[in-house]
């Protein structure tokens, strides 16, 4: 295990952007009538000298007759399932260059979605961290210095002051207990989430019940599912097999279960849209109707990319709405907490001044 870790550190896997470039350049070279081993050899130094040996290993494996899919799966370059599937479908159908081109486009679309997600969440995350910093500064540094003086005057204190005094004492005296409890709970949660399919499913189902978050998750999952199925179908993969591969891609358990159930029913002659209708929390009416039209007309290759683009736009809209909602909510929360802290200090001083003047 340690040896593998050292190898991965010395030869880091390709990033999402680099994998898109790999698929795009390889498709270009194959389109110029170059053989697959020759194309890999040309790209040997395109992704860093420390990865040249891994590309040489790819070339030698291909020269020895190993399938491109197997070579990519066993490589330490960390190729995504998108490229591996493109290799499988492309080798099977004889359209490897076209499959890689579509895989590169899919990777780029997913990278754009990931960038939008990070961009939308960055500002709220900064505000949240700043809020935690301000509250921690008040509780751990300001309150312990001011409150002993106020308490020594032995005057009746307002409820807000008593609350902050109790909170400050609790957090400063028992902070290590709080951290220990949080670490313990976090460890158990992480262990259960990684090891228990049932627990992970409960968490995912709970997330789908949160109004704004559920819209983001649904748009993201539908965009990825339709994008994957569209890419595979357009590369010559049978529709039911494309659904199966999309299910293996999907990390969100409710959607994975729904897709696997759809595969079972499609194998008995049912339609994909009819199975989707049983999971209306996961698949909106528009998605069901669109797939039903594609199945009825036999024009799934045109319907699927349209649905993928629609839900990509829906995801962007949901992220924008979430960002616009969370930013003022955090600002208001910080203002309330800081204002309450200020009142907890000002009110006793005002009462004392009133008492002295009286």
- Residues 318-341 as b or e (16 or more Cβ within 10 Å = b): bbeebeeebeeebeeebeebeeeb
Does residue 17 or residue 123 have the better pLDDT?
A: 17
Question: Would the pLDDT of 319 be above 70?
Answer: yes
Give pLDDT, residue 357: 60
pTM above 0.75, yes or no: no
Q: What is the CA radius of gyration of the chain?
A: 28
| Contact criterion met (CB below 8 Å) for 214 and 208 | yes
Q: Tens digit of pLDDT for each residue in 75-92?
A: 888 888 888 888 888 887
State residue 3's pLDDT score. Answer: 45
pLDDT value for 6: 43
Q: How confident is the model at residue 11 (pLDDT cuts 50, 70, 90)?
A: low
Q: Is the dihedral of CA 272, 273, 279, 283 positive or negative?
A: positive
Question: Model confidence at 210, in pLDDT bands (50, 70, 90)?
Answer: confident
Q: What is the pLDDT of residues 256-307, one digit of tens each?
A: 999 999 898 888 888 888 888 888 888 989 888 988 888 888 888 888 888 8
Q: How far apart (Å, rounded) are the C-alpha atoms in residues 65 and 69?
A: 12
Question: Looking at residue 153, what is its pLDDT?
Answer: 65
C-alpha 138/C-alpha 131 separation (Å) is 11
Q: State the SS3 of the chain.
A: CHHHHHHHHHCCCCCHHHHHHHHHHHHHHHHCCCCHHHHHHHCCCCCCHHHHHHHHHHHHHHHCCCCHHHHHHHCCCCCCHHHHHHHHHHHHHCCHHHHHHHHHHHHHHHHHHHHHHHHHHHHHHHHHHHHHHHHHHHHHHHHHHHHHHHHHCCCCCCHHHHHHHHHHHHHHHCHHHHHHHHHHHHHHHHHHHHHCHHHHHHHHHHHCCCHHHHHHHHHHHHHHHHHHHHHHHHCCCCHHHHHHHHHHHCCCHHHHHHHHHHHHHHHCCCCHHHHHCCCCCCCCHHHHHHHHHHHHHCCHHHHHHHHHHHHHHHHHHHHHHHHHHHHHHHHHHHHHHHHHHHHHHHHHHHHHHHHHHC
pLDDT score recorded for residue 9: 44
Does 171 score more than 80 pLDDT?
A: no
Whether residue 49 is predicted with pLDDT greater than 50 in this model: the reply is yes
Q: Does domain 108-358 have CATH number 1.20.81.30?
A: yes
Of 105 and 168, more confident: 105
* pLDDT at residue 122 tops 50: yes
pLDDT of res. 302: 84
Distance CA 341, CA 269 (A): 66
Name every residue whose Cβ is closer than 8 Å to that of residue 24 and which is 6 or more positions away in sequence: 100, 101, 104
Nearest to 225 by CA among 235, 239, 211, 212: 239
Mean pLDDT across the chain: 81
Question: Which of 64-68, 153-157, 159-163 bottoms out in mean pLDDT, i.e. has the lowest?
Answer: 153-157
**What dihedral do alpha carbons 161, 164, 166, 169 form, nearest 10°?**
-130
Mean pLDDT of the region 178-202 = 88
Q: Using an 8 Å Cβ cutoff, are 261 and 328 in contact?
A: no
d(CA 197, CA 193): 7
Q: Tell me which of 105-119, 139-153, 254-268 is least confident.
A: 139-153
Check residue 7 and give its pLDDT: 47
Say what percent of the chain tops pLDDT 90: 1
Q: Is the pLDDT of residue 230 over 50?
A: yes
CA distance 94 to 106: 20
The torsion defined by the Cα of 14, 18, 19 and 23, in degrees rounded to 10, comes to -140
Terminal C-alpha separation, the chain: 76
Domain ranges of the chain: 2-79, 108-358
pLDDT for 355? 64
Contact between 39 and 123 under an 8 Å Cβ cutoff? The reply is no
Identify the weakest region by mean pLDDT among 98-107, 159-168, 288-297.
Answer: 159-168
**How confident is the model over 2-11, as a mean pLDDT?**
46
pLDDT of residue 267: 86
């Amino acid at each position: 295990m340690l040896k593998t870790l050292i190898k991965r550190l010395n030869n880091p896997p390709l990033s999402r952007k680099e994998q898109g470039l790999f698929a795009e350049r390889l498709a270009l070279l194959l389109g110029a009538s170059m053989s697959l081993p020759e194309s890999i050899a040309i790209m040997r130094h395109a992704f860093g000298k420390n990865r040249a040996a891994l590309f040489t290993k790819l070339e030698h494996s291909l020269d020895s007759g190993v399938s491109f899919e197997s070579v990519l799966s066993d490589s330490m370059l960390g190729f995504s399932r998108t490229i591996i599937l493109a290799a499988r479908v492309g080798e099977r159908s004889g359209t490897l260059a076209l499959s890689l081109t579509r895989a590169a486009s899919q990777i780029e679309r997913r990278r754009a979605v990931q960038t939008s997600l990070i961009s939308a969440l960055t500002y709220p995350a900064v505000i949240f961290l700043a809020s935690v910093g301000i509250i921690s500064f008040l509780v751990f540094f300001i309150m312990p210095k001011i409150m002993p003086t106020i308490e020594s005057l032995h005057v009746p204190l307002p409820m807000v002051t008593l609350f902050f005094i109790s909170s400050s004492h609790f957090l400063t005296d028992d902070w290590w207990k709080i951290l220990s409890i949080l670490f313990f709970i976090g460890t158990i949660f992480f262990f259960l989430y990684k090891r228990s399919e049932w627990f992970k499913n409960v968490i995912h189902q709970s997330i789908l019940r949160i109004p704004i978050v559920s819209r983001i998750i649904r748009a993201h999952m539908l965009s990825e599912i339709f994008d994957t199925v569209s890419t595979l179908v357009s590369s010559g993969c049978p529709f039911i097999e494309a659904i199966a591969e999309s299910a293996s891609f999907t990390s969100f358990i409710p959607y994975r279960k729904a897709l696997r159930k759809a595969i079972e029913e499609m194998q008995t002659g049912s339609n994909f849209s009819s199975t989707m209708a049983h999971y209306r929390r996961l698949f909106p009416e528009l998605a069901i109707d669109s797939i039903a039209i594609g199945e009825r007309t036999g024009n799934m290759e045109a319907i699927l990319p349209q649905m993928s683009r629609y839900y990509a736009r829906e995801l962007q809209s949901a992220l924008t709405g979430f960002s616009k909602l969370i930013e003022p909510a955090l600002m208001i929360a910080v203002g309330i907490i800081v204002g309450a802290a200020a009142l907890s200090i000002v009110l006793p001083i005002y009462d004392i001044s009133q008492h002295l003047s009286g």
